[in-house]
């Protein structure tokens, strides 16, 4: 096994680190939507949110992730 870190592993670590900074509800909503590929209605039921609340949370969570990952993505660019 190679000791070198591939760009993919590095990016995954950056994404995980950025996710860890989010409030738990935001992290859960993002994980369910983008990693579990769950639809909005299922996430709303699971987390007890309205559609508007879920969309707001996902929007804020994605904006926060983009801001945190921008330097890392630029460095890879």
CA distance 25 to 48: 11
Contacts of 3 (CB under 8 A, 6+ apart): none
The pLDDT score that the predictor gives to residue 33 is 95
Nearest one of 41, 60, 64 to 51, comparing CA atoms: 41
The pLDDT score that the predictor gives to residue 45 is 98
Running along the chain, 77 residues long, what does each successive block of 10 average in pLDDT? 62 89 96 94 98 97 93 76
8 A C-beta contact, residue 57 and residue 23: no
């Amino acid at each position: 096994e190679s000791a070198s870190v591939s760009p993919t592993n590095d990016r995954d670590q950056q994404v995980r680190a950025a996710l860890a900074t989010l409030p738990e509800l935001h992290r859960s909503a993002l994980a369910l939507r983008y990693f579990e590929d769950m639809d909005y209605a299922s996430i709303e039921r699971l987390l007890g949110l309205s559609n508007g609340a879920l969309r707001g949370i996902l929007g804020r969570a994605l904006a926060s992730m983009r801001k945190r990952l921008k330097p890392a993505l630029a460095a890879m660019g």
